[in-house]
Amino acid sequence: MAPKNLGKNGAPRQNPRLSPEKKASRPGTAGDLGLPDISRPMCYMLVCVVAVGCYLNSLPGDFVHDDVMAIKTNKDVLGKTPLSEVFLNDFWGKRMSDNTSHKSYRPLCVLTFRINHLIGGLDPAGFHAVNMLLHTAVTVLYMYVCEQVVFSCVHLALLAGLMFAVHPVHTEAVSGIVGRADVLAGLLFLLSFLAFTRSVATVCRSVDFPAGIINHLIGGLDPAGFHAVNMLLHTAVTVLYMYVCEQVVFSCVHLALLAGLMFAVHPVHTEAVSGIVGRADVLAGLLFLLSFLAFTRSVATVCRSVDFPAVSSHGQYVLCLVLGACAMLVKEQGITVLGVCVLYDTLIICRRGILRHLRERSVSGFLHDSRPFLKRSAVTGLVVLCLLCFRVWMLNGTLPQFSDQDNPASFSPYLATR
């Protein structure tokens, strides 16, 4: 009887798991490197957790040193100047032609500060949180570049990503708010380099360069990347929904937390988040909430004693209209946010004035007092009309044809179901 390690003809038996063919097809695996066999998604998740964990303690930090001049006293960041001034002034808000200008021209970084202030005011925690998330994005992208361009092995890229995430050289750039210029430049640096490598490599790999599609640009046709973006967008929508509930509905963070938790786990979102093409719904929801939040901020800053407050921030109001248009371009139902804004204006902001005039039955008085409200509603209605005209024009005079698989409810024989 032949030994277990010998074949029938006396030749050594080969372990199929260690066959040269299989080993050659998997170069640089975790086993070869003496590393634990961690799946690819878990490697990226681990890097994210480490990158965030390193700088969580920076969230309670205040504005210090250059942060004061670059943010707290910078009119370009505080929204006290037109948006065009951001592209004409230096990093500190001074005109580039001024003799006292620092000559540091970083308009995109200043623009992110302005958006930070637009959403969360001068709360330094919001600025620190964005820096931390940008550092996480840079770390993940650095690991991805290492995997795709340098090592061709996710486990070696993981080691590089972990060292990058925790390296103390990034401390000032991430913990200091004005250091965002370095972090954001690093992100765009890596994206630019990655785009260049893909633009050249497609010649020899016979793969079309996926211009204009961010997911495909970064991760090709790997579905995990598409699902990850959907998951992150759903997380962003949930956080924004909770914030809107806190600011507009409850004025209590604990009630907003309950609303946010129910929104996060509600099964109605399953198809939109789990199905990749459902991103249209998730992204439209994100833009919907941002548009509505911008509208509430454009009016709500006026004294509450005014029955028909005027627009106090034209920038916020224009942002509301732009985001509403973008929501429609993501998914058609997104345009309904502008109708929601008009209803909120009517039933919440101007309710007291409208009820007073209804009781008094004074039409002329209503038309005179409610001019700010009527003007705002007319402008919003005009924008909606223009967007609808554009959408009809895009149809080229023909209505879409749906099958019962596309929209089963519309083919139901019951009127109530339709």
Q: What percent of the chain has pLDDT over 90?
A: 10
* Shared-domain flag, residues 146 and 51: yes
Mean pLDDT of the chain: 79
Quick: pLDDT tens for 338-373.
999 999 888 888 888 888 888 888 788 888 888 889
CB-based contact 286:236 (threshold 8 Å):
yes
The count of domains in the chain is: 3
Q: Dig out the tokens for 344 from the structure.
A: 């909120």
**Per-residue pLDDT band at 22 (split at 50, 70, 90):** very low
* Shared-domain flag, residues 289 and 370: yes
Predicted TM-score (pTM) of this structure: 0.50
* Shared-domain flag, residues 377 and 253: yes
CB-based contact 38:46 (threshold 8 Å):
yes
Q: 3-class DSSP state for residue 110? A: helix
Q: Quote the domain boundaries for residue 268.
A: 225-396
Q: What is the pLDDT of residue 406?
A: 65
* Shared-domain flag, residues 160 and 231: no
Contacts 24+ apart (CB under 8 A), 240-245: 240/286, 240/289, 240/290, 240/293, 241/289, 243/293, 244/289, 244/292, 244/293
Q: Dig out the tokens for 101 from the structure.
A: 């200008």
* Shared-domain flag, residues 103 and 194: no
CA distance 98 to 90: 10
N-term to C-term CA, the chain: 77
**Judging by beta carbons within 10 Å of its beta carbon (0-12, 13-18, 19+), is residue 241 exposed, middle or buried?**
buried
C-alpha dist (Å) from residue 188 to 185, 219, 339, 386 = 5, 16, 37, 35
* Final residue of a structural domain among 169, 186, 221: 221
CA distance 312 to 299: 6
Concatenate the DSSP letters of all residues of 238-268 into one string.
HHHHHHHIIIIIIS-HHHHHHHHHHHHH-GG
Listed range (42-51, 296-305, 315-324) with the worst mean pLDDT: 296-305
Instruction: Say which DSSP state 308 is in.
Output: S
Q: What is the pLDDT of residue 20?
A: 41
* Shared-domain flag, residues 388 and 296: yes
Q: Dig out the tokens for 49 from the structure.
A: 């957790």
In total, the chain counts a number of residues equal to 418
Closest CA to 346 of 366, 324, 318: 366
C-alpha dist (Å) from residue 29 to 17, 34, 35, 39, 157 = 13, 9, 8, 11, 12
In this structure, is residue 11 part of a structural domain?
no
Quick: pLDDT tens for 285-299.
899 999 999 998 888
In this structure, is residue 167 part of a structural domain?
yes
* Shared-domain flag, residues 202 and 84: no
* Shared-domain flag, residues 197 and 318: no
Residue 119 clears pLDDT 50, i.e. is over it: yes
Q: What is the pLDDT of residue 211?
A: 34
Closest CA to 372 of 417, 308, 285: 308
Listed range (22-31, 99-108, 193-202) with the worst mean pLDDT: 22-31
Q: What angle do CA 333, 339, 345 make, to 5 degrees?
A: 150
In this structure, is residue 16 part of a structural domain?
no
Q: CA 147, 150, 151, 156 torsion: positive or negative?
A: negative
Residue 320 clears pLDDT 80, i.e. is over it: yes
CA 123 to chain centre: 19
Q: 10: left (phi > 0), else alpha (psi -120 to 50), else beta?
A: left
Q: What is the pLDDT of residue 258?
A: 92
Q: 103: left (phi > 0), else alpha (psi -120 to 50), else beta?
A: left
* Shared-domain flag, residues 302 and 205: no
Quick: pLDDT tens for 213-272.
566 666 666 777 788 888 888 888 889 889 888 888 888 888 989 998 999 998 888 888
Q: Virtual CA dihedral for 67, 117, 264, 184, nearest 10 degrees?
A: -50
* Shared-domain flag, residues 192 and 316: no
CA 70 to chain centre: 24
* Shared-domain flag, residues 271 and 380: yes
* Shared-domain flag, residues 36 and 112: no
Q: What is the pLDDT of residue 198?
A: 75
In this structure, is residue 97 part of a structural domain?
yes
Q: 3-class DSSP state for residue 33? A: helix
Between residues 15 and 368, the one the model is more confident about: 368
CA distance 136 to 54: 10
In this structure, is residue 275 part of a structural domain?
yes
Return the residue matching tokens 């640096």.
Answer: 189
